[in-house]
Amino acid sequence: MTVFGETPEQQIASGRHAKCGAQWLILQPPRSLGTGDAAPLHFFGAIMDRLDMKLAIQNAPEYIGVGLSVDGIASLARNHANFTVLKVEGPVLAIREVIERTDGKLAVFNGRAGTELTDNLRAGCAGMNFLDRQSRVFDLMGAGREAEAEAVYREVLPGIVFAMASIEHLVCYGKRIAAHRLGIAEVFDRTPALAPTAFGLGCTQRIADALGALR
């Protein structure tokens, strides 16, 4: 379960409540932490010291402007045994560095809708954002059938590249691609949100048509 709060105390309270049913938690960094490692290290360290369960952090500084560097992640991993999972949104070279610097202590999951999917798995990611073809790629890579995995990945790559232009773009158009594939006729946006354009809607329809219905 993901928990959020502007202070360590708020996230600790949410975490203790979630502990009734959740096996582990993903901690979210509030934007008020600003840049640099000092504030996030203090923030997450205070929570990890007081929650006796498996913990992860969401780290996406390239997208939200707040988060830890590789040095900061490695420091948390050294000092907090209950920090065992890392959910990131970043380029594969940075992901590989994180995995190397933490000596495999963390199960690293990358997002970005499966961008660089096969290379992320080669880098040592435990998983990615999966949906139909991405899940097939994961299975093929695990079976050592890399050429087949790359062929399947090429089918979905144009849609990934289009959707991941930005977080706002993903929220606007990514869910419309999913809606087309699921047969959902009407999509609602929670404002403030990026408004779709006629050209953008045409792109989403072509991508969805190429991928086919989602079952």
Encode pLDDT of 170-186 as tens digits.
999 999 999 999 999 99
Number of Cβ atoms within 10 Å of the Cβ of 97: 16
pLDDT at 193: 92
Question: In the chain, which ranges are E strands?
Answer: 2-3, 24-27, 54-59, 83-88, 107-110
Range with the poorest average pLDDT among 29-38, 118-127, 147-156, 160-169: 29-38
Does 17 share its domain with 93? yes
Does 92 share its domain with 182? no
Range with the poorest average pLDDT among 4-13, 59-68, 90-99, 201-210: 59-68
pLDDT at 214: 82
pLDDT at 130: 64
Look at residue 214 and tell me if it is in a domain: yes
Look at residue 119 and tell me if it is in a domain: no
98: nearest Cα among 76, 71, 121, 135: 71
Does 92 share its domain with 181? no
Q: How far apart are CA 168 and CA 146, in angstroms?
A: 32
CB 104 within 8 A of CB 95: no
CATH of the domain at 23: 3.20.20.70
Look at residue 56 and tell me if it is in a domain: yes
Number of Cβ atoms within 10 Å of the Cβ of 175: 17
Does 89 share its domain with 188? no
pTM recorded for the entire structure? 0.85
pLDDT at 131: 78
pLDDT at 34: 78
Mean pLDDT of 129-139: 86
Beta-bridged to residue 109, according to DSSP, are 87, 127
- Domain count across the chain: 2
139: nearest Cα among 118, 119, 159: 118
Boundary (domain end) residue, out of 88, 110, 132: 110
> Which pair of structure tokens corresponds to residue 215?
């079952």
Range of the domain at 184: 165-215
What type of residue is 23?
Q
